[in-house]
Structure formats: structure tokens, C-alpha cells
């Protein structure tokens, strides 16, 4: 969809800045299907002009002409404080294909670049590319990544690096920050336009409601509550949950210093710049709720179009109170399914929480523990379970396994069917930081084979892929603490 909000300072025509001598670093055939892009036998675009388009060097390819590239303004809260106007500092919306937006990240300065150079480095572009596609394969809503195009152009960060452009696709890149932008300017006309545009394109059910804008808020909040529950269930930490990085379609967007948990540490902080741990793993649900409160206050003037100010506040406040309830239900659904429980019993939550506490106390590998759990049988005896060895307090985990086995005995699925279902919900492969790091270091030496291998493995995270078994292992000791920060 077109943002179609040009005409004031909220959106500016922004031609990409050419990238010298571009070359392919990575390409996603799966994302290409979304836009019916024809591929050659090498699984890269058949038409070589796609490379120039996705580098930002031309604005047409085949039948497509992107005559109106733009960047948009948004405002938002960063690390809990109002940051005022931000905007697409280095993202350029080329236009639509198949009702999907095609965006270039790192294609040069925009009207909203503030102090930045408008570029992205190879390292962060590879991370965004791999993680977007991995999240999609984990069935978690996300913007998609189509390509990474590299260049020898130098870019200064803490050290000198080289530039790259990541192209990404989503039905819309509209964020909470877009609402906050118009709300902060008290521009109710534009705020309403934005809400109407979202309703027409993505939330048509709102039109049938008495309070379409209140209903829109509830829909956005519900999607984000479910999204964050699903992140928790795969151990994903976003790293920068500022309100300008929160999609109003409930998609994971703006991959920066994210990280998947290796060992389970409930208060794990993946972003090195997040000194206070605001965006730690266990805080993500509460922070997403906080971001929905920012959205609620930005949407207040819209609800006030049909109610008194006092009534509107009460309505939005009670809508906001639904967030933890929706989150908890989705979290419980996700963790029940990780444990292979199809029925619901009152004691399940306690069972899950006891397990997570024990995993935290012993820093057990999150992904591998749940994956391995599918091998348990209804007649397993706790002391034969190899995974007990990963826990320091054996007595405690034996009790847990005994209770879990008893619980499994009340399930109707056979051991084999249970294993198959659990393996469809507990991935074997996730984008561990050390795997990304190895691929990045090779790419920095112009060898992109490891990026492509990782991409291939992560596209099928629930499959055994025995030949790649070592990609499922926890990081070696010297790669456990890779530092990832906002500077990208």
C-alpha cells in the first residue's frame, strides 16, 4: 500500500543514493515468490537489473517503475523517553508490488537522517536478512528480507566497515511512531487519515464496529500481545523495543541488536547499549504493553471524536487492560504446545513456570532442551532421562520430570504422534549469535557461502537436517559473549 501521506513534512520524495559496484551477498527465493520475481537456475533474479534496483542504482526493473520513492517521518519514545521526531533515516520506500511495500535499508541519507550517513554496514544487513527469514520460517509474523547487496564503499562506525543495502518487504512498515508523530503535532486530520488507511487496507472489520478507532486500537494491541508471546516461546530478544520500532500490523520489524537465547537466562540483555536492561528478555511483554499505552494516548483524539474526553480515556484504559490477558493466553498456548500438551489443566502454568525456573537456575540451553523433550515417553523414568544431567539440582528436576510424565499420561496422543507435533513447535535451529558472527566474518572476506548455508538451514528450522547437526549446538565458550549494540 502507498503511505500516501505526502504533501506535508510527514513524507518526502527520496531517491536512493547509488551504491558503487554492487554485488549480491544474499537473496531469498522464498521472499521473491511474494512479488512473483522470476529466478534463474542459481536462485538469484534472472534479470540482472534487479541487482541495480536493490542497490538503489536505478528505479525500474522489467515492468516495474518506482517513480515515487519516499521516506517518512515518525516520532517516538526511545528507551522510555520522548525522543521527538525521528523518521526513516536510512529506509527508502520504493513502492508497491503485489500489494506489498518494497523498502531499501541503507540506500543513503533521507530527509530524516539527522546526524546519520544513511548507510547500513554489511554486518547488520546480514543479521537483518538472516533473522527476518528465520523468523518467517518459525511462523512468527515479521517483515521479510529479499536481499543483501554489498559494495566496497567505506562506512565509519566504531571501526571502518563496508556498506550494504538490505531490501525488505512487508504489507506496511507503519509504526506506532507514525501515530505518535501526528498526535504530537495535534494534527487530528492526519491522524484520522492514517487510521482510515489502516482500517481500509488491513483491518476492514473495524468499519462494522460502533467505535472503529477504539476497535482498531484493540486489534493492533492484540496482534502485538500475541507477537511478543511468540517471541518469548522461541527465546527471541528484540533488543530495541522503542515505540518507533513497533509495527501496527504486529510484525517483528527493525532487526538491530537482537539475539536468541542460548542458555536460558530470564533477564538476558542482548543489546550491549541497553545498560539498564529495559529490553531484557523477561521485560519484553511489559515493554510491549507500555508501547501500546503510547499508541493508546496517540489514538485518544480519535476515540474522542465519538465520546467525551473522560469516556474516551476510560475506554482506552480498559482496552489496554486486555493486553496482559491476551498475552498470557497466547504464552500459555505456546508453552503448552512446547511441552506437547494438547489439553488444558489448571496445574499446567505452574508446571511450565517450575521448569523455566529450573532452566534459569542451571542456565540450560533453551532451544535444545525443548527440542530434546520430545524424546520423552509416557513410561520414561526420570532418572533415565539424559537431560537431567544438565541441571545442577537433580532432585528438583527429577521431581519435575515425574510430574511432567504423569501429566503426559493424561494426554491422548501416542508417544510417536506427540514427538512429531512437538518437533513442529520446538525448532532445532535458531539464528544463534555465534553462527551469524562466523557467517559475517567470512562475508567480510568476500565469502558469502556461509550466509547462504545458514539461510538454507534456518528456512527449515523444524527439520532434523542431520548433515547440519553441529549448527544446533550451543556456542563454544569463546563465542558465548558476542557484543551486539545499536551502532549498525
Q: Which does 365 bind (CB under 5 to 8 A by kind): ligand AMP, Mg ion, none?
A: none
By CB atoms closer than 10 A (0-12, 13-18, 19+), residue 109 is middle
Q: Which does 117 bind (CB under 5 to 8 A by kind): Mg ion, ligand AMP, none?
A: ligand AMP
Q: Least distance to ligand AMP from the beta carbon of 113, Å?
A: 4
Q: Which does 72 bind (CB under 5 to 8 A by kind): Mg ion, ligand AMP, none?
A: none
Determine if 245 is a binding residue for Mg ion (CB under 5 A): yes
**How many whole angstroms from its chain centre is CA 41?**
30
Q: Which does 463 bind (CB under 5 to 8 A by kind): ligand AMP, Mg ion, none?
A: none
Nearer to ligand AMP, 83 or 266 (CB): 83
Number of residues that bind ligand AMP (CB under 6 A): 15
Nearer to ligand AMP, 343 or 487 (CB): 487
Q: Which does 240 bind (CB under 5 to 8 A by kind): Mg ion, ligand AMP, none?
A: ligand AMP
Query: Diameter of the chain by CA atoms?
Result: 69
**Mask 114-153, x = binds ligand AMP (CB under 6 A)?**
--xxxx----------------------------------
Only segment of 37-45, 82-90, 325-333, 376-384 that touches ligand AMP (CB under 6 A):
82-90
Show Cβ contacts of residue 381 under 8 Å, excluding neighbours closer than 6 positions: none
Tally of CA atoms within 13 A in the half-sphere of 306 that contains its CB = 13
Measured CA distances, 279 to 76, 179, 242, 337 (Å): 16, 22, 9, 26
Q: Which does 48 bind (CB under 5 to 8 A by kind): ligand AMP, Mg ion, none?
A: none
CA 305 – CA 326 distance, rounded (Å): 27
Q: Least distance to Mg ion from the beta carbon of 110, Å?
A: 13
Q: Least distance to ligand AMP from the beta carbon of 172, Å?
A: 17
Active-site residue flag, 274: no
Determine if 87 is a binding residue for ligand AMP (CB under 6 A): yes
**Mask 218-237, x = binds ligand AMP (CB under 6 A)?**
--------------------
Q: Which does 95 bind (CB under 5 to 8 A by kind): Mg ion, ligand AMP, none?
A: none
Name residues contacting Mg ion, limited to 87-116 (CB under 5 A): none
Q: Choose, from 52, 88, 211, 244, the residue flagged as catalytic.
A: 244
Nearer to ligand AMP, 26 or 121 (CB): 121
Determine if 88 is a binding residue for ligand AMP (CB under 6 A): yes
Per residue, the 3-state secondary structure of the chain, as one string, reads CCCCCECECCEEECCCCCCCCCEEEEECHHHHHHCCCCECCCCCECCCHHHHHHHCCCCEECCEECCCCEEECCEEEECCEEEEECCCCCEEEEEEECCEEEEEECCCCCCCCCCCCCCEEHHHHHHHHHHHHHHHHCCCCECEEEEEEEEEEEEECCCEEEEEEEEEEECCCCEHHHHHHHHHCCCHHHHHHHHHHHHHHHCHHHHHCCCHHHHHHHHHHHHHHHHHHHHHHHCEECCCCCHHHCECCCCECCCCCCEECCECCCCCCCCCCCCCCCCCHHHHHHHHHHHHHHHHHHHHHHHCCCCCHHHHHHHHHHHHCHHHHHHHHHHHHHHHHHCCCCCCCCCHHHHHHHHHHHHHHHCCEHHHHHHHHCCCCCCCCHHHCHHHHHCCCHHHHHHHHHHHHHHHHCCCCCHHHHHHHHCCCCCCCCCCHHHHHHHHHHHCCCCCHHHHHHHHHHCCCCCCCHHHHHHHCCCCHHHCCCCCCCCC
Give the residue among 234, 212, 246, 221 at the shortest CA–CA distance from 368. 234
Residue from 254, 274, 330, 365 binding Mg ion (CB under 5 A): 254
Nearer to ligand AMP, 90 or 432 (CB): 90
Only segment of 87-95, 96-104, 264-272, 416-424 that touches ligand AMP (CB under 6 A):
87-95
Only segment of 166-174, 250-258, 275-283, 296-304 that touches Mg ion (CB under 5 A):
250-258
Nearer to ligand AMP, 113 or 452 (CB): 113
Q: Least distance to Mg ion from the beta carbon of 327, Å?
A: 23
Q: Which does 277 bind (CB under 5 to 8 A by kind): ligand AMP, Mg ion, none?
A: none
Residue from 18, 29, 89, 324 binding ligand AMP (CB under 6 A): 89
**Mask 250-289, x = binds ligand AMP (CB under 6 A)?**
----x-x---------------------------------
Cell numbers for 250: 504486529
Nearer to ligand AMP, 155 or 261 (CB): 155
- Cβ distance 83 to 74 under 8 Å? no
Q: Least distance to Mg ion from the beta carbon of 382, Å?
A: 47
Residue from 58, 68, 113, 485 binding ligand AMP (CB under 6 A): 113
Residue from 103, 125, 151, 245 binding ligand AMP (CB under 6 A): 245
Which parts of this chain interact with Mg ion (CB under 5 A)?
245, 254
Q: Which residue numbers are catalytic?
A: 244
| Binding interface with ligand AMP (CB under 6 A) | 86-90, 113, 116-119, 240, 245, 254, 256, 486
Amino acid at each position: 500500500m502507498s503511505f500516501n501521506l505526502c504533501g506535508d513534512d510527514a513524507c518526502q520524495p527520496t531517491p536512493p543514493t547509488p551504491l558503487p559496484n554492487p554485488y549480491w551477498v544474499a537473496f531469498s527465493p522464498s521472499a521473491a515468490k511474494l512479488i512473483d520475481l522470476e529466478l534463474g537456475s542459481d536462485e538469484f533474479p534472472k534479470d540482472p537489473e534487479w541487482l541495480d534496483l536493490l542497490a538503489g542504482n536505478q528505479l525500474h526493473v522489467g515492468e516495474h517503475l518506482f517513480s515515487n520513492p519516499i521516506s517518512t517521518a515518525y516520532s517516538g519514545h526511545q528507551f522510555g523517553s520522548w525522543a521527538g521526531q525521528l523518521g526513516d533515516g536510512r529506509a527508502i520506500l520504493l513502492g508497491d508490488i503485489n500489494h506489498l511495500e518494497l523498502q531499501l535499508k541503507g540506500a543513503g541519507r533521507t530527509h530524516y537522517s539527522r546526524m546519520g550517513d544513511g548507510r547500513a554496514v554489511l554486518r547488520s544487513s546480514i543479521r537483518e536478512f538472516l533473522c527476518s527469514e528465520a523468523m518467517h520460517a518459525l511462523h512468527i509474523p515479521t517483515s521479510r528480507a529479499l536481499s543483501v547487496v554489498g559494495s566496497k564503499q567505506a562506512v565509519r562506525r566504531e571501526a571502518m566497515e563496508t556498506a550494504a543495502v538490505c531490501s525488505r518487504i512487508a504489507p506496511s512498515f507503519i509504526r506506532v511512531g507514525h501515530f505518535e508523530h501526528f498526535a504530537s503535532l495535534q494534527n487530528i486530520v492526519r491522524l484520522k487519515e492514517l487510521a482510515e488507511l489502516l482500517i481500509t487496507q488491513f483491518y476492514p472489520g473495524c468499519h462494522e464496529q460502533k467505535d472503529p478507532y477504539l476497535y482498531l486500537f484493540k486489534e493492533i494491541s492484540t496482534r502485538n500481545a500475541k507477537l511478543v508471546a511468540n517471541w518469548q516461546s522461541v527465546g527471541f530478544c528484540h533488543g530495541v523495543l522503542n515505540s518507533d520500532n513497533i509495527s501496527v500490523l504486529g510484525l517483528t520489524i527493525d532487526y538491530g541488536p537482537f539475539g536468541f537465547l542460548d542458555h536460558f537466562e530470564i533477564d538476558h540483555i542482548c543489546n550491549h547499549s541497553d545498560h539498564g536492561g529495559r529490553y531484557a528478555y523477561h521485560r519484553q511483554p511489559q515493554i510491549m504493553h507500555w508501547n501500546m499505552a503510547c499508541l493508546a494516548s496517540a489514538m485518544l483524539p480519535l476515540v474522542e471524536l465519538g465520546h467525551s474526553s473522560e469516556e474516551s480515556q476510560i475506554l482506552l484504559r480498559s482496552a489496554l487492560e486486555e493486553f496482559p490477558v491476551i498475552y498470557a493466553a497466547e504464552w500459555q498456548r505456546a508453552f503448552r504446545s512446547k511441552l506437547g500438551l494438547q489439553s488444558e489443566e489448571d496445574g499446567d502454568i505452574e508446571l511450565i513456570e517450575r521448569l523455566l525456573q529450573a532452566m534459569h537456575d542451571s542456565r540450560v540451553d533453551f532451544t535444545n532442551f525443548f527440542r530434546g523433550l520430545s524424546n520423552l515417553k509416557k513410561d520414561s523414568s526420570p532418572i533415565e532421562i539424559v537431560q537431567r544431567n544438565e541441571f545442577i539440582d537433580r532432585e528438583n528436576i527429577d521431581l519435575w520430570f515425574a510430574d511432567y510424565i504423569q501429566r503426559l499420561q493424561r494426554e491422548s496422543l501416542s508417544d510417536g504422534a506427540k514427538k512429531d507435533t512437538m518437533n513442529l513447535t520446538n525448532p532445532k535451529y535458531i539464528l544463534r549469535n555465534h553462527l551469524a558472527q562466523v557467517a559475517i566474518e567470512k562475508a567480510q572476506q568476500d565469502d558469502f557461502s556461509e550466509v547462504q548455508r545458514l539461510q538454507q538451514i534456518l528456512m527449515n528450522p523444524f527439520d532434523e537436517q542431520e548433515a547440519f547437526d553441529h549448527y544446533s549446538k550451543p556456542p563454544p565458550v569463546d563465542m558465548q559473549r558476542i557484543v551486539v549494540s545499536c551502532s549498525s
